[in-house]
Amino acid sequence: MRIHENNALGQLGSAIGKGLLAGLAATAAITLSQMIEMKITKRKPSEATLKVAEETTGVKPATEEEKPKLSQEIHWTYGTIWGVSRGLLSLTGLKGWPATAVHFTAIWGTALVMLPKFKAAPPITEEKSQAIAIDALHHAVYAVAAGLAFDALDAGGKHERKFNKLVKQLRLKGIINKFKY
């Protein structure tokens, strides 16, 4: 009996699971990035997540005091789920910084389209350059953190990494260039 087999459903499940963990780590990173930025710029927390959630799902906080809590719950759920797309990118063979760049483009591009559509933020053409830069920075923090976390989770076990390092060294020395494994 084989304990581990490479199959499409196993690879999909692995990509989704690693993506969720990467999304969780990335959400922690963007949350920290936003907290630091808000402290520096004295900006109040955005209500964009609540506006979009209200429009798309009808979810509303029961009281004014519940707004921050609901906003954070939506923020963490949304951010964690976006990690799945990073996992799915890996199934295409795209890895490392190229995958991070595509992931960043998808995340920030979606925000630039969705937030104005639901009147949760002005279109980018009506934003000040500082606000655009800050928003891009936060989304870049998310994408980089997700990419680093995903790549770390996807690196394989200690023995697999040692084996791959050995194969690389043997190839560099020309010892196994003629063999396929």
pLDDT higher than threshold 70 for residue 125: yes
Interval 30-72: pLDDT, tens: 999 999 999 999 999 988 989 999 999 988 888 989 999 999 9
Nearest to 139 by CA among 35, 18, 26, 36: 26
Q: Which three-class secondary structure state does DSSP give residue 173? A: coil
The model carries a pTM of 0.82
Residue-level pLDDT at 159: 64
End-to-end CA distance of the chain: 22
